[in-house]
Structure 1
Amino acid sequence: MSAISEARGRTPRRSPRRRTVDTSRIEELLTQASDIVLAEGFTTITMDQLAQRLGCSKATLYSVAGTKEQLVQTITRRFFITAAEQIERAVAEEADPRQRIRTYLTGVGTAMRLHSPALYDDMVSYEPTARIYRKNSDAAARRVQEMIDEGIRAGVFRDVDGTFAAQVVAIAIDAVQSGALLQSTGLSAGDAFSKLGDLILDGLSRPATS
């Protein structure tokens, strides 16, 4: 049974009454629902409560997603897609490979700071959203490896094993995801990613020549 089912022992069902809603209204409701979930998590809130706070009928909310499970997965995917697009736009504006990798990881940290502790706990505890998070964490590690390799080719990074460095990043990301690194350091997920960027650059940069 899903951790976010709205009634114990009962499989969530689609509402028998669904309403056709225009695309702009769906996008507006999804944005508003995302703001609530980012701030408060999703385990304790029900579709009835969401509809009331969004000022719409439950039938209208079911036009956005057929079940609460589908809604939180949609919100999670939407968050990571939007964050990735924003981060890559910022990275594209940086010509210096050192600043590109810093911009990327700082962007990841900034995005993760939008997650309240409640949402973070809910996301990693519920398998469908944890799977989405893991997929994006893996993509982040691959992207870091690409930027390390670019920096090595440009001569601004030491000639290290980019795959090894990226795997270290992946392990750090997993430690953030599991909560182990956050618990031992007291850092938030966002701060941990930012510090990871500083650590990588300190280790990769060529020593200054006198």
Structure 2
Amino acid sequence: MTHPAGAAPSAPLKTPRRRRVDTARRADLLEQVTDVFLAEGFTAVTVDDLARRMRCSKATLYGVGATKEQLVVAATKHFFGTEAARIERMVATFSEPQEMITTYLEGVAQAMRRNSPAFYADMVTYGPTAEIYRRNTARAAERILEMIDGGVRAGVFRATNAAFAAQVVALAIEAVQSGTLLERTGLSAAESFAELADLLFNGLRHAS
């Protein structure tokens, strides 16, 4: 490739040097990165910080994610994926719809308690992580609606209240995700989901 007279050749684009890591090591590193981000947020934490704390090279970390942005996305997906699996395991131990719903929302609240205010603020303001959060909150709303429908079919919940409750769940989760409900109530995301569980448990049951 030729260059105009007197012009210096373009410098090749540099990509972070990555070190191949085995599956178990990668899983362990991803768990550690996730814990750091959940505790402190990810905006202020650098890859140098992570490497120093984990006593590994930056090249090793880049074996988990090729850039800091990829590390952030991987950690956020890991958090939601592992928590969703944990919650579903808890729900599977119950058969009564009201217990399933309460357990599900309490599980969501427990998961959200792992989020520091710094991580939550970073997550909802950074496009890729905000989209991950949006997809997971939408799925949470769908799961609650599925359980409400199951309770109606089983005769446990009042059908006249089911449609209303379903819309309340969807709106409440959306309001938590957008931050509107948190601002207006002063509650955290975890506290909001816990309150929602209590409202659903008491509002959907047949009057005794």
Q: What TM-score, normalized by structure 2, do the two folds share?
A: 0.90
**2 CA distance for matches of 1:49 and 1:15?**
19
* Structure-2 change in CA distance of 1:14 and 1:107 (3 Å): farther
Which ranges in structure 2 are unaligned for 5 or more consecutive residues?
1-12
> What is residue 91 of structure 2 aligned with on the other side?
91
**RMSD of aligned Cα (Å):** 1.4
CA displacement at 1:165 relative to structure 2: 2.6
Q: Which residue of 1 aligns with 2:6?
A: none
1:13-64 deviation line (CA, Å, top 9, x unaligned): 8744211111111111111111100100001111111111111111111011
Please give the alpha-carbon distance, in whole angstroms, between the structure 1 residues aligned to 2:148 and 2:21: 46
Asked if 1:177 corresponds to 2:191, the answer is no
Matches within 5 A, 1:74-153: 74-153=74-153
How far apart, CA to CA, are the structure 2 residues paired with 1:42 and 1:27?
19
The question of whether the paired residues in 2 share the 8 Å contact of 1:15 and 1:62 is answered with no
Equivalent in the alignment of 2:189: 189
**How many equivalent residue pairs?**
196
CA positional deviation for 1:87? 0.7
Change in 2 beyond 3 A, CA 1:14/1:117 = farther
Partner of 1:17: 17
SS in 2 for 1:64: coil
Give, in angstroms, the shift of residue 163 of structure 1: 4.7
The answer on 1:50 being equivalent to 2:50 is yes
> In structure 2, what residue type is equivalent to 1:119?
F
Q: Where do 5+ consecutive residues of structure 1 fail to align?
A: 1-12
Kept in 2, the 8 Å contact 1:14–1:67? The answer is: no
Larger Cα-atom Rg: 2
Residue by residue over 1:128-171, the C-alpha shift from the partner in whole angstroms, topping out at 9 and shown as x without a partner, is: 00000000111011101100011011111001364543232121
CA contact (8 A) 2:161 2:204 kept: no
C-alpha distance in 2, partners of 1:113/1:72?
Answer: 19
Identity, % of aligned pairs? 58
Q: Is the 8 A contact 1:14 1:66 kept in 2?
A: no
1:49/1:15 CA distance change after superposition, 3 Å: farther
The change in CA–CA distance for 1:78 and 1:14 in structure 2 (over 3 A counts) is farther
Give the TM-score, by structure 1 length.
Answer: 0.89
Which letter does structure 2 place at the counterpart of 1:65?
G
CA shift for structure 1 position 92? 0.8
Greater CA deviation, 131-140 or 176-185?
176-185
Give the 4+ runs in structure 1 shifted more than 6 A. none
What are the Cα deviations for residues 92-121 of structure 1, in whole angstroms up to 9, with x where unaligned?
111211111100111111111110110000
Alpha-carbon separation, structure 2, partners of 1:188 and 1:96: 28
Retained in 2: the 8 A contact 1:80–1:136?
yes
